[in-house]
Structure 1
Amino acid sequence: MATIKATHWLGTLLLLFWVGGAAPAQTIRQTYELAEAHFVRADYPRAVEAYRRVLFFDEQEAYGPLCYRKIADCLYFTEQFDEAALFYDRAYYVTPDDSTQAHLLFQKASCYLLTQNYRYAQIELFNLPDSLPEAQEKRRQFYLGILYFSLEEYETSEGYFQALAPDSAAREAVRALFVRNEAITRFNPRKARRLSIFLPGMGQFYAGDVKNGLNSLLLTSGLFYWGVRLLATGSTFPDAFITIMPWFQRYYVGGYKKAEIIATEQKQKRRHQLYNQLLDVVERE
């Protein structure tokens, strides 16, 4: 009986030694290889889960430089840009290579641009080295062009896009697009509201929405005509007012509010179209 107990405790000690000693190193390596396999297959959620397990059990912190960037890339590819930026930041501080550090700063800036955190993106771009390889320098100019366009600093933005234009024809196209952008900037949604207050439908016409403009004009004109007919057929003014006014107010007030909304949407749509055309020009290389 004593021999059985001794054998049992010896087996337990050996098992504990195996679990606490050699196994974790092997498990970490295998888990990392599993994460890499998921990454190659573009199974990013599972890859992130495996990379996180590696980091959790990696007491020596040997896998940090390998995992942080991969986790960030997985999060980026799945459009989790806020968290991706955090992991790109961690990867930056454990990466000794200057070129890779620059790439990580670009990725962080991209995350901030995509989440419209423009000032954070600006900080990351300003943290880049003054001297970069040609491809990274073009990438910096491209990001700065996007940044300043998003901040509505169009003159500065044009300078960066002009520098990216591959030839004189492209530079002329960039100039023409920024001239069009000036017209979009002058387009005023509040003017659409004021026009529709003055004459229902005019604000929609100003915004280029003829259909809604005609609807607003015809509805309010029809209500006005109905009120006149009520008065002409013997209704008293208070009775006609009580009958018509709620409907008239609904369509009149709703009309000029809608005119401003339509104009705002049109302005955003036109600027988005111009922005895409601008990117097409500078990416023509």
Structure 2
Amino acid sequence: MSLPGSLRPALVLLATLAWVTAFGQPRPPEPPPLEAAVVVEVYTDILGRAPHAWEVTYCPAHTRNDLRSLLLQSFEYRALSPEVVIHRAFFEYCGRGPTPEEMRHYRRRMIDERWSVGRIRQDINRQWSNDDEHHGRGPGYDNDGPRGRRDAIDRMIERAYDDLLERRPDREGMEHYRRFLERGGSESSMRARLRESEEYRVKLPDSKTTRAYQNVLRRAPDAGGMEHYRKLLVDRGWSQRDVEADLRRSDEYRNRKR
């Protein structure tokens, strides 16, 4: 039997009231699934790859942030070591592996600043994959005009200081290397000079070692430990986190935890 049209709205209202009485507030409708383009963008940014077709079709997230959170917690993301990500990007975009300072620079970005895989790849592609790099001058050197050339030189100096000394250049250092580069010096020569500085070879690694010892063992480093980790930090490209992880594997740390 068909119901009169005038009764249908009333019956729908009664059914809704009965549901609310029995189960509380009705469940809101599910939001629409993410568009395929958004899924592809987030997968590329977090995992450095495009999603498979089934990952787009059955994507469980309904917002961009939800999908980012899911991928950041995935086994695949946790299995991506910074070293693997950085090596792959340099070989893909530059046809070579990263130098120790480049590895150190991007490891810090991934570990300390939580850069995504996509952001690492984008930055390597933008900064290092052009021919100027192979001449030891770095990208952006040949900008037109004196102002563009000065800006490019300043960026080159700032990048070298950030990579090697992990700080911005002071005014004296900026002026010194600006003159050096304007007179024909190369970026590789400037970096070699910074690597020979006492700050790079002694002060910076010693400060990292001291902080690591204080964080893990709650004491100052002894002379032997200071020398040991200085070599690893300078010659092997270790970070402060690497030193802390190594200290946590020591007998002193295990005995201290008992």
Shorter-chain TM band: under 0.3
TM-score (norm 2): 0.25
Work out which of the two has the higher radius of gyration on C-alpha atoms and give 1 or 2: 1
Which structure has the highest helix share of the two?
A: 1
